[in-house]
Amino acid sequence: MPDYKWPAMNKRKIMGTRVSRLDGPAKSSGRAKYPSDMNPQGLLQTAILVSPHAHAKIRSINTDAAKSMPGVAGIRTFVNAGAEVQWANAEIAIVAANTEEQARDAVRAIKVDYEVLPHMVREENLAKAGTRAKAAGEQITGDPDQALKDADVVLQSEYGIPVITHCCLEPHGQVSEWKGDAINFWPSTQAVSTVGNQLAQALSFDAAKIKVTCDYMGGGFGSKFPADSWGAEGARLSKDTGGRPVKVFLDRATELTIAGVRPSHFMKVKVGAKKDGTITAWQSDSWSTGGFAGGGMAPIPYVYANIPNRRMNHAAVSLNAGPQRAWRAPNHPQASFLTTSAITDLAAKLNMDPLDVFLKNANLTLREATYKSQLEKAAKMIDWKAKYHAPGEGKGTIRRGVGIGVATWGGAGHASKCKIVLHPDGSVEVELGSQDIGTGTRTCITMVAAETLGLPMSAIRVKIGTNSYPASGPSGGSTTIGGVSSSTRKAAVNALEKLFEKVAPSLGVPADQLEAVDSRIQVKGNPNKAMSWKQAAQKMGPQSIEEMGENVPAQAPREGLNTLGASGVQMAEVEVDTETGRVRMRKLVAVQDCGLVVNPKTAESQVYGACIMSICSALFEERVMDAVTGRVLNPDMEFYKLAGLPDIGEIEVQMDITPEHDARGIIGLGEPCAIGGGAAIANAIHNALGVRVPLAPATPEKVLNAIGNRRYA
Amino acid sequence: MLYEAIHRQEGARSTKRIEGKVGVSVSSQNDSTKDNLTKSAFSRRSWLRGAGIGTGVVGAGVLEQEADAQQAKVMSGEVEISLNLNGRPRSVKVEPRTTLLDALRNRLDTTGAKRVCDRGTCGACTVIVGGKAVYGCTMLAVDAVGKNIQTIEGLAPEGQLHPVSQAFVNNDAQQCGYCTPGFVMASKALLDRNPNPTVEQVEKGMAGNICRCGTYVGVRKAVLEAAKMRGGSNA
């Protein structure tokens, strides 16, 4: 079997160097065409009618008046009379018209008769949830009752983190064209190779005849895998109108209400410890919602999972609110916030520095040495020793504090196939049915192919973004980089083997004695016995070399190209104005391991971005539901707050690149770095104030309530 | 009918939503007394004038009274206007309510500016009109007639990069890239006004733009690098 192993760390020429993303110029010049930018000839625009009620039965839908409005080409309904909608802004009908303005006018002419039914849209008080709360099974390890009784110190506390949205800047949607027996589908998607299959299923259509194309997409964060109801109805509208292309993109309010949210998570907890800080017991009662279907239990206790005695109970609360979708590191940021808040508050009760408690209990994690070393690195970066003080200690209006958050993630590569074509003219094409969701995938694939073939990146043409190419998995769960790098590596090695066979006779050595270095094929270690890549390619004859490479997740651990198990530690320093309640970021530091790092430049960008996302959720983000109307009160971007450039403070990222981590192969990065930051910020606020702000986000109102020792609604 | 009249002030986010059918402003000023109207007069009056929308379209209520007072000409359906886009006159049919952004994206196939919040908050649609950065979603297309409109496509010929765009590439100030054209245009307008900004001025200047992937660290560096390339010394 060919040797697919990564070249030794010190032998790599391209992988591991800092490369600017290849599609950067297209993006920063505005020339990159996103699905929402597609304007094919004859395009119809659409508008969607949504339910104003959080829970209602539809008595009738009348589209007659709308049909005769100017410019209207087609109308379809998502639901029929008799159906119940279970959340506000659920999609009811869609109009296609020559212009967007006409489509919006026609939507207003659709008459829907609703029988309004009772709704419930808030879950922060479990006692009020009644039958909407469904208990999940109890999990017990050891003897938590006895351990809590025996503990020297027991912390008892409550924490909560609300539902937030993905708020992708490019809304969900697509352009579709159903002409004859084929469909062209241009979705904003994280899953070019699977979304067409889903659409085929929804339409009872031949999957082989759906061509999916997505060269660029404007953010997904876990919410853009499905074909979606508007994908199916958009395609049907195209069919209804004789194959005219139809563009459907959600407006902002609809995007923020029905296109995916991150579940909330609340927890009442008891943590027991010995005087020396050893954690011995954990007992949590938690609840969460991700919409009508309830919400699962976050992995608590988090990272510090192996507390010997523990009992966890959880309830899923069903609400009349838009459904959850995977949100970057599903349930982990909540788990980190809940767990590290409890450990930090426990440290306060023990009169210990929380850093010592995190270090002391590192044996409760899966990677003790890694977490210890990362805690120490991060502590140095934030200057913990100088900056930590007893909680609340300090004078004056403005208080500073530091806090800790931790993260873990899997991140093994997904199933991926890659085809590499070496042409007789020396050119190289690499094809994968993958996508670049902003992580730099296109660039990383090019780097792996160039490294393996001994060519400059400019000699490689990487083609992704359509299901016409060999299938790769969706970009979710930090699985892409491991998957596509491994399949590309294998395809490139396989192709080289074939090329070596053609070249070997001319160089007078067996094929396995050749290597590809610096755009040449040479006898291993002997640059004098060599020929240029171009000359070598000519030896192919008229036919190109086409080779496949495949990452099979079950085999990957044996091959060692990619693996799982990333760790990270983040620490924050904040400044809190005790008169206004405003929290300002001073610094956030991140130490992140993800095995072999293909492109440190784009990897760091992901971590910086994740830190900023953490600032957003720690300080600003909350989907606010109105109990009376059942509607989202802030489905926009002025009241659904995200951080801006002045809000982020200083951020320092250290990719934990070491020979030991590198030897593990590639591990996904997107999720793990988006977990610990929010927790670190919440804990830094505790350190600044000496009181806990138990509910995220730490808005001025919540901070002032905590300082005033006021309870929440 | 729902109309949105939103405008961008330097460094501030301000939004006024006007519900045409019932004549209620959803902003804080939904009091219809004369005094209040005068105070908030930006706005509805000049907007109505600019949009050329009369009573027939707008309906009853405050707006109707104001519109009556203006005796605005009723205009409905599409009209052909000419926009001076990236140095070239471009003829385009728009409705009075069509925003500059929608005219660019839907009717002129100029899609660099993106529609994200569609109400003057996020900056993804930033274009430069008459030398000033504006949110394309807050300006009506008919209001842009006679003004120089520069979009990101006008910064450099295809295949070449404007120094600001180059600085964004160098500093990886982009991930998914959907906000990037807006940031590049906001940066360009900032540097045109202030070729030598401090870090604080960069932060303030970029405060009207939102990135969800979190590329601000790169953006901060990119704007400073672009300033340096153009001769500023604070970077």
What single letter denotes the amino acid at residue A678?
G
**pLDDT higher than 60, residue A346:** yes
Quick one: average pLDDT of A34-62? 98
Answer for the pair A525, A472: CB distance below 8 angstroms, yes or no. Answer: no
Cβ contact, residue pair A34, B178, below 8 Å: yes
Instruction: For residue B235, give the amino acid letter.
Output: A
User: Chain B residues with CB inside 8 Å of A188's CB?
Assistant: none
H or E element at residue A436: none
Beta strands (DSSP E) in A237-339 are 246-249, 261-262, 265-273, 279-288, 309-317
DSSP-assigned states of every residue in B44-110: HHHHHHHHT--HHHH-SSHHHHHHHHHTPPP--S-EEEEEEETTEEEEEEE-TT-BHHHIIIIIS--
- Sequential DSSP letters for A80-101: -TT-EE-STT-EEEEEEESSHH
The average pLDDT across A261-273 equals 98
Residues of A in contact with B102 (CB under 8 A): 100
- A with B: how many residue pairs have Cβ under 8 Å apart? 185
pLDDT value at residue B71: 54
Predicted local distance difference test score (pLDDT) of residue B73: 55
- Name the residue of chain A whose CA is nearest to B153's CA: A30
User: Which strands form B126-129's sheet, in the order they lie side by side?
Assistant: B88-94, B79-85, B148-150, B126-129, B132-135
pLDDT of residue B230: 83
With contact defined as beta carbons under 8 Å apart, do A285 and A159 qualify? no
Structural domains of chain B, ranges and CATH numbers in brackets: 2-70 (no CATH), 79-147 (3.10.20.30), 163-229 (1.10.150.120)
Judge contact between B152 and B198, C-beta under 8 A.
Answer: no
> A694 vs A161, A338, A585, A705, CA distance in Å?
8, 9, 18, 10
Contact list in A for residue B106 (CB cut-off 8 A) is 39, 45, 99-100
- Give the helix/strand (H/E) hosting A201: helix A195-203
Q: Do B212 and A642 touch (CB under 8 A)?
A: yes
Give the relative orientation of helices B163-170 and B180-193 as an angle to the nearest 10 degrees.
120
Find out whether the peptide bond into A301 is cis, omega within 30 degrees of 0. Answer: yes
Mean pLDDT of A280-298: 96
Cβ of residue A278 closer than 8 Å to a chain B Cβ: no
B111 in contact with A at a CB cutoff of 8 Å?
yes
Please tell me whether residue A197 adopts helix, strand or coil conformation: helix
Rounded to whole angstroms, how far apart are CA atoms A188 and A280? 48
Q: Select from B210, B206, B51 the least CA-distant residue to B117.
A: B210
Q: Check B175 against A609: CB less than 8 A apart.
A: yes
pLDDT at A86: 98
Confidence band (pLDDT; 50, 70, 90) for B77? confident
Q: Is B118 on the interface with A (CB under 8 A)?
A: yes
Distance in angstroms (rounded) separating the CA atoms of residues A175 and A223: 18
Q: What is the structure's pLDDT at B234? A: 53
Complex-level ipTM: 0.97
Residue A226: strand, helix, or coil: coil
Query: What is this structure's pTM?
Result: 0.92
Give the pLDDT confidence of A377-420 residue by residue, as tens digits: 999 999 999 999 999 999 999 999 999 999 999 999 999 999 99
A176-186 mean pLDDT: 97
**Half-sphere exposure of residue A637: CA atoms within 13 angstroms, side-chain side:** 27
Rounded to whole angstroms, the Cα distance separating A324 from A322 reads 7
A217 touches chain B (CB under 8 A): yes
Contact by Cβ (8 Å): A237, A229:
no
**Cα gap A373→A358, rounded to integer Å:** 12
Is the C-alpha dihedral spanning A98, A103, A104, A109 positive or negative? Answer: positive
Residues A644-663, mean pLDDT to the nearest whole number: 96
pLDDT score for B19 = 31
Beta strand A265-273 pairing with A173-179 = unpaired
pLDDT at res. B40: 38
- CATH 3.90.1170.50 in chain A: give the residue spans: 35-118+172-249
Q: How confident is the model at residue A652 (pLDDT cuts 50, 70, 90)?
A: very high
| B221 interfacial to chain A (CB closer than 8 Å) | no
Chain B residue at shortest CA distance from A37: B111
CB distance B169–A28 less than 8 Å? yes
Q: For residue A105, give the nearest of A96, A113, A114, A118 by alpha carbon.
A: A96
Cα dihedral A547, A551, A557, A558, rounded to 10, equals -30
User: Measured between beta carbons, which residues in chain B are less than 8 angstroms from residue A438?
Assistant: 174-177, 213
For the domain covering A415-559, report its CATH number.
Answer: 3.30.365.10
CA distances from B80 to A420, B85, B92, B96, B127 (A): 51, 15, 5, 10, 21
Close Cβ partners of A369 (under 8 Å, ≥ 6 residues apart):
none
Contact B173 A101 (CB under 8 A): no
Burial of B208 per CB tally in 10 Å (0-12, 13-18, 19+): buried
- In which residue ranges of chain A is CATH 3.30.365.10 found? 261-411+564-707, 415-559
Say if residue B69's pLDDT is above 80: no
Chain B (147-206) residues lying within 8 Å, Cβ to Cβ, of chain A: 151-153, 155-156, 158, 161-162, 165-166, 168-170, 172-181, 184, 202-204, 206
Q: CB of A531 within 8 A of CB of A583?
A: no
| Partner B contacted by A68 (CB < 8 A) | no
**B69: buried, middle or exposed (CB in 10 Å: 19+, 13-18, 0-12)?**
exposed
Within the 15-74 window of chain B, which residues sit less than 8 Å (CB to CB) from chain A?
Answer: 15
Q: Touching check for A613 and chain B: CB below 8 Å?
A: yes
Residue B180 has pLDDT above 90, yes or no: yes
CB B218 within 8 A of CB A608: yes
Nearest by Cα to A686 from A702, A670, A668: A702
Q: Do B212 and A168 touch (CB under 8 A)?
A: yes
A529-548 pLDDT per residue, tens = 999 999 999 999 999 999 99
The reply to whether residue B153 touches residue A31, judged by beta carbons under 8 angstroms, is yes
Instruction: Please tell me what DSSP assigns to residue A169.
Output: S
CA dihedral A144→A146→A147→A153, nearest 10 degrees, is 120
Residue A711 in contact with partner chain B when CB distance is under 8 A: no
Q: List chain B residues with CB under 8 Å of A616.
A: 214
State chain A's mean pLDDT as an integer: 97
- Residues of chain B contacting A36 with CB distance shorter than 8 Å: 111, 114-115
Contact A319, A288 (CB under 8 A): no
Q: Does B230 touch chain A (CB under 8 A)?
A: no
Q: How many CB atoms lie within 10 A of CB B84?
A: 16
Q: Name the closest residue on chain B to residue A165, using Cα atoms.
A: B212
Per-residue pLDDT, A710: 73
Q: Which residue in the set B13, B124, B165 is minimally distant from A28, CB to CB?
A: B165
CA distance A329 to chain B (A): 14
Contacts of B161 in chain A (CB under 8 A): 25, 28-29
pLDDT for residue B179 is more than 50: yes
- Most A CBs within 10 A among B216, B220, B225, hence the mutation to make, goes to B216
Which tens digits make up the pLDDT trace of A434-469? 999 999 999 999 999 999 999 999 999 999 999 999
Q: Does residue B65 carry a pLDDT above 60?
A: no
Share of chain A above pLDDT 70, in %: 100
**Nearest chain B residue (CA) to A215:** B176
DSSP code at position A566: E
Distance CA B125, CA B136 (A): 5
Question: Does the beta carbon of B223 lie under 8 angstroms from any beta carbon of chain A?
Answer: no
Which candidate from A169, A605, A646 shows the least CB-CB separation from B218? A605
Confidence tier at B232 by pLDDT (50, 70, 90): low
pLDDT digit string, tens, across residues A199-217: 999 999 999 999 999 999 9
Q: What is the pLDDT of residue A557?
A: 87
CATH number of A261-411+564-707: 3.30.420.40, 1.10.490.20, 1.10.10.10, 3.30.365.10?
3.30.365.10
Query: Three-state SS for A166?
Result: coil
Which regions of B75-208 does DSSP assign to beta strands (E)? 79-85, 88-94, 126-129, 132-135, 148-150
| Residues in A 388-447 with any Cβ partner in B closer than 8 A | 437-440
Which superfamily does CATH assign the domain made up of A35-118+172-249 to? Aldehyde oxidase/xanthine dehydrogenase, a/b hammerhead (3.90.1170.50)
Q: Cα–Cα distance between A516 and B40 in angstroms, integer?
A: 71
Mean pLDDT of the region A32-54: 98
Q: Which of A169, A221, A604 sits opposite B178 (nearest CB)?
A: A169
Of A25, A169, A605, the CB nearest to B212: A169
Per-residue pLDDT tens digits for A131-150: 999 999 899 999 999 999 99
Shortest CA distance to B175 belongs to which of A620, A387, A440? A440
Asked whether the beta carbons of residue A646 and residue B203 sit closer than 8 angstroms, the reply is yes
| B72 pLDDT tier (thresholds 50, 70, 90) | low
The answer to whether the beta carbons of residues A53 and A466 sit under 8 Å apart is no
For residues A426 and A241, give the distance between their C-alpha atoms in angstroms, rounded to a whole number: 46
Residue A2: predicted pLDDT: 87
What's the longest Cα–Cα distance across chain B?
57
A469 near A432, Cβ under 8 Å? yes
Q: Does residue A32 sit at the B interface (CB-CB below 8 Å)?
A: yes
Tokens of A445: 């694939």
Q: Do A606 and B175 touch (CB under 8 A)?
A: yes
